[in-house]
């Protein structure tokens, strides 16, 4: 009976209109893609400024650190606001803030790093405020049956952007200077602010109708309590945080070193980074249709595949093996991300979804800079072999431990069969 039910659901999914034919989703897809492109472009364009000697390497670090600080500060605030007020309104003001900050960064280029840093904080605030609001908007705009396809389409856009944007930006750099490119990121942020659809005003339901009478900390605590109601979410978030803070950080630092010292070429570095993006692209395509029986276990197994990247760097293998490991890592990340976002949008109370999403981003991506800062000293103290070995082990073990939580099987508090 369960198999028959799954087949019927699959048939219904195939017969339903494509998500890309829905105007509201296309607008949301365009806005989220624009925000992702603008987020990616800033460090790349500033890197071009370093090459042109308009910005020092130290100045680049200060500006990017300032943006990260703004991002982290904005996440919990935006989660509360996006649940209390209109999610579309949060996206609008966040995108406008980032759009206003980008030209100021361009203004400070070449003469004032402090001005650039202040503007980068504003851009980071806009970037951070968009993330939980966009995640909640997906649940507002897309019906539950098609959210996995919608999240896969969004992931696909991110990977295509990451794969093609460097070449396109380098091409534009032959026609425009760095300041013009920085202003261009502001224009892209303007698109992210203005294009998305309205969705449902979150303040019309649930306890958030109390609005300003409820203290911010109390409202954020409500989101934390909602997250704690879902053991699979806490376990999966812990596993994701461990993988990003260790595996991602270790490979980001160790890959350039190994490419230079072991293989004496930058080709391994470039090929591995590209392979990771290609793997993510393949994962996004696969998860558009793939519906495994135990979706949570499948997603956590895919997340553990990131461990092959530090493991390959650890072993004295041909560089092709490293590239293949990065393809597997990228594939695994998207096979985890899409079901993870879809389950969060399905299981979490709608009026608390933005706060839970902000907690997700705050821990998983917010701790990544700490991992990056600690990996280099750890390599100096214990050696690259030890660090990569420990990180590979954690990448395999953390998702395995998360899978032991009963509700992790389906990423749901209740078994799939019971919900049907």
The span from the CA of 161 to the CA of 212, in Å, is 39
Supply the pLDDT for residue 6: 40
- What's the rounded mean pLDDT across residues 281-291? 90
Query: Would you say residue 268 has pLDDT above 70?
Result: yes
The span from the CA of 184 to the CA of 176, in Å, is 10
- What DSSP character marks residue 17? P
Supply the pLDDT for residue 214: 55
The span from the CA of 348 to the CA of 129, in Å, is 19
User: Which has the higher per-residue pLDDT, 143 or 203?
Assistant: 143
- What's the rounded mean pLDDT across residues 75-84? 91
Supply the pLDDT for residue 326: 96
- What's the rounded mean pLDDT across residues 330-352? 94
The top-scoring range by mean pLDDT among 153-157, 322-326, 363-367 is: 322-326
The span from the CA of 220 to the CA of 229, in Å, is 15
Supply the pLDDT for residue 9: 42
Tell me if 54 sits within 8 A of 178, measured CB to CB: yes
Return mean pLDDT, the chain: 87
- What's the rounded mean pLDDT across residues 74-94? 92
Select the CATH number that applies to the domain covering 226-404 from these four: 3.40.630.30, 3.40.50.720, 1.10.3720.10, 1.20.1250.20. 1.20.1250.20
Supply the pLDDT for residue 415: 59
Cα separations in angstroms, 127 against 34, 38, 77, 131: 11, 9, 12, 7
The pTM is what?
Answer: 0.86
CA angle 130, 135, 138 (to 5 degrees): 120
**Helices and strands, number each (H, E), in the chain:** 18, 0
Task: Report CA torsion sign: 238, 247, 340, 418.
Answer: negative
Tell me if 195 sits within 8 A of 32, measured CB to CB: no
- Which residues does 74 contact at the CB level (< 8 Å), separation at least 6? 94, 124, 125, 126, 127, 128, 129
Supply the pLDDT for residue 174: 85
- What's the rounded mean pLDDT across residues 158-176? 84
Supply the pLDDT for residue 5: 38
The residue ranges of every structural domain in the chain are 20-147+166-214, 226-404
User: Which has the higher per-residue pLDDT, 46 or 200?
Assistant: 46
pLDDT digits (tens, 9 = 90+) for 223-249: 999 999 999 999 999 999 999 988 888
The span from the CA of 360 to the CA of 236, in Å, is 10
Residue 200's pLDDT band (boundaries 50, 70, 90)? low
Query: Would you say residue 51 has pLDDT above 50?
Result: yes
Same CATH topology for 20-147+166-214 and 226-404: the answer is yes
Give the whole-number percent of the chain exceeding pLDDT 90: 59
Supply the pLDDT for residue 126: 95
In the block, residue with structure tokens 């004295």: 316
The span from the CA of 183 to the CA of 45, in Å, is 10
- Which residues does 89 contact at the CB level (< 8 Å), separation at least 6? none
CA angle 14, 18, 23 (to 5 degrees): 155
Supply the pLDDT for residue 420: 40
pLDDT digits (tens, 9 = 90+) for 98-118: 999 999 999 999 889 999 999
User: Which has the higher per-residue pLDDT, 6 or 388?
Assistant: 388
The span from the CA of 371 to the CA of 310, in Å, is 14
Query: Would you say residue 379 has pLDDT above 60?
Result: yes
- What's the rounded mean pLDDT across residues 122-135? 94
User: Under CATH, domain 20-147+166-214 is a member of which superfamily?
Assistant: MFS general substrate transporter like domains (1.20.1250.20)
Query: Would you say residue 208 has pLDDT above 60?
Result: no
Tell me if 403 sits within 8 A of 300, measured CB to CB: yes
Supply the pLDDT for residue 261: 86
Residue 335's pLDDT band (boundaries 50, 70, 90)? very high
Residue 165's pLDDT band (boundaries 50, 70, 90)? confident
CB burial of residue 11 (10 Å; 0-12, 13-18, 19+): exposed
The span from the CA of 165 to the CA of 153, in Å, is 18
Query: Would you say residue 173 has pLDDT above 90?
Result: no
- What's the rounded mean pLDDT across residues 142-150? 91
- What's the rounded mean pLDDT across residues 118-126? 96
Q: Which residues pair with 201 in a beta bridge?
A: 86
- What's the rounded mean pLDDT across residues 200-206? 51
Query: Would you say residue 33 has pLDDT above 90?
Result: yes
Q: Tell me the HSE value of 418 on the side-chain side, using a 13 A CA sphere.
A: 6
CB burial of residue 1 (10 Å; 0-12, 13-18, 19+): exposed
Supply the pLDDT for residue 4: 38
């Amino acid at each position: 009976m369960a198999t028959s039910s799954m087949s019927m659901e699959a048939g219904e999914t195939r017969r339903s209109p494509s998500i890309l034919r829905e105007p509201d989703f296309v607008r949301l897809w365009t806005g989220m893609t624009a925000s992702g492109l603008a987020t990616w472009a800033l460090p790349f364009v500033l890197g071009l400024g370093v090459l042109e000697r308009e910005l020092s390497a130290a100045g680049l670090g200060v500006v990017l650190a300032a943006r990260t600080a703004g991002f982290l500060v904005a996440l919990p605030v935006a989660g509360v606001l996006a649940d209390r007020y209109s999610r579309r309104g949060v996206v609008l003001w966040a995108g406008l803030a980032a759009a206003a900050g980008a030209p100021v960064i361009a203004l400070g280029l070449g003469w004032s790093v402090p001005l650039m840093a202040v503007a980068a904080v504003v851009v980071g605030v806009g970037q951070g405020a968009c993330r939980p609001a966009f995640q909640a908007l997906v649940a507002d705009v897309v019906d539950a049956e098609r959210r996995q396809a919608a999240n896969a389409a969004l992931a696909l856009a991110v990977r295509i952007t990451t794969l093609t944007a460097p070449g396109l930006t380098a091409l534009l750099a032959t026609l425009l200077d760095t300041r013009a490119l920085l202003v261009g990121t502001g224009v892209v942020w303007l698109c992210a602010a203005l294009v998305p659809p309205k969705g449902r005003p979150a303040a019309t339901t649930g306890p958030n109708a109390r609005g300003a009478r409820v203290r911010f900390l109390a409202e954020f605590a409500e989101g934390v309590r909602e997250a704690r109601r879902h053991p699979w979410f806490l376990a999966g978030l812990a596993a994701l945080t461990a993988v990003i803070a260790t595996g991602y950080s270790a490979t980001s630092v160790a890959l350039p070193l190994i490419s230079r010292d072991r293989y004496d070429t930058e080709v391994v570095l470039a090929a591995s980074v590209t392979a990771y993006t290609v793997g993510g692209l393949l994962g996004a395509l696969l998860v558009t249709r793939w519906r495994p029986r135990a979706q949570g276990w499948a997603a956590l197994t895919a997340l553990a595949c990131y461990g092959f990247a530090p493991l390959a760097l650890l072993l004295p293998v041909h560089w092709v093996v490293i590239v293949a490991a990065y393809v597997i890592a990228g594939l695994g990340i998207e096979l985890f991300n899409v079901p993870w976002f879809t389950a969060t949008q399905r299981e979490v109370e709608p009026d608390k979804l933005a706060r839970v999403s902000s907690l997700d981003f705050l821990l998983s991506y917010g701790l990544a800079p700490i991992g990056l800062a600690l990996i280099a000293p750890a390599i100096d103290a214990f050696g690259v072999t030890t660090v990569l070995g420990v990180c590979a082990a954690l990448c395999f073990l953390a998702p395995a431990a998360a899978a032991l939580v009963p509700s992790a099987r389906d990423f749901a508090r209740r078994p799939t069969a019971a919900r049907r």
